[in-house]
Amino acid sequence: MSMVMLGKKAPGFSLKGVLQGRVSDYSLESYKGKWLVLFFYPADFTFICPTEVTGFSKFASEFRAEQAEILGVSVDSIDSHRKWAEELGGVEYPLLSDENKEVSRAYGVLDEQEGVCLRATVVINAAGEVSYLVVSHTNVGRSVEETLRVLKALRTERLCPSDWKPGEPTGDLKLKY
């Protein structure tokens, strides 16, 4: 279901989120002109892969250097996010609360049986379109560095060969003539 979204406008959302103890409203609208990394995860207060949340937090400044913001989303409450962020020693990006599960459903990342999000990362470009989408089964943690690499590659808006790393040439040099 989510695959259909690639290249299309990302579903809009307006959710409450908590950043460093402060609660605010966050909507897709406000990120126009910027890249957005929407990072869905199953639950707060878990022993399985909580390192993802802190992983993205550590790289937050590097994402910002790429004109990109990170938003974490799960179906937990604002209160839960606030306490979880505290438990993790602070999170450098907002954690949004999709309590009625509508946004997760709209992005096709809700595990209907369990009632929680799958581990999904959605990269939305500055024009508000879904550029990249990764979904994995609940127990495999994602690579933050890979997401950053892909973000950088996408931002070149050029053809990038496989395993392209920042600094390497883009485009297929063999097609010169």
Partner 1 sequence: MSLQAIETKREVIESRARIRELVFGIQDGLISTVGLLAGVQGATESATVVIITGLTAMFSGAISMAAGSYLSSNAQKEIFDKELREAEILAEKEPYLAAEGLLKSLSQEGLSREQSYGVVKQLLRQEQVFLRTFQEKVFGLGSAEINQPLKAAMVMGASFIAGALIPIVPYFALQGINALYFSILLSALTLFVVGLFKGYLAAKSPILSGIQFFAVAVGAAGLGYLIGLVVQYFFPGITIPAG
Neighbours of 105 (CB within 10 A): 15
Closer residue to partner 1, CB minimum distance, 63 or 84: 84
Q: Which stretch binds partner 1 (CB under 8 A): 30-38, 42-50, 62-70, 154-162?
A: 42-50
Cα 139 from Cα 155, distance rounded (Å) = 29
Output b/e per residue, 18-51; b: 16+ Cβ within 10 A.
bbeeeeeebebeebeeebbbbbbbbbbeeeebbe
Of 35, 72, 80, 97, which one interacts with partner 1 (CB under 8 A)? 80
Partners of 17 in the beta sheet? 24, 96
Of 2, 46, 54, 143, which one interacts with partner 1 (CB under 8 A)? 46
Q: Which stretch binds partner 1 (CB under 8 A): 1-9, 40-48, 60-68, 100-108?
A: 40-48
* Least Å from the CB of residue 141 to partner 1: 11
For residues 73 and 5, the answer to whether their CB atoms sit within 8 Å is no
* Least Å from the CB of residue 58 to partner 1: 20
Closer residue to partner 1, CB minimum distance, 75 or 153: 75
For residues 121 and 107, the answer to whether their CB atoms sit within 8 Å is no
Helices 51-58 and 144-156 cross at an angle (nearest 10°) of 40
84 binds partner 1 (CB under 8 A): yes
Name the residues annotated as catalytic: 49
* Least Å from the CB of residue 86 to partner 1: 10
Closer residue to partner 1, CB minimum distance, 1 or 48: 48
What is the size of the binding site for partner 1 (CB under 8 A)?
11
Residues near partner 1 (CB under 8 A) are 43-48, 76, 80, 83-84, 87
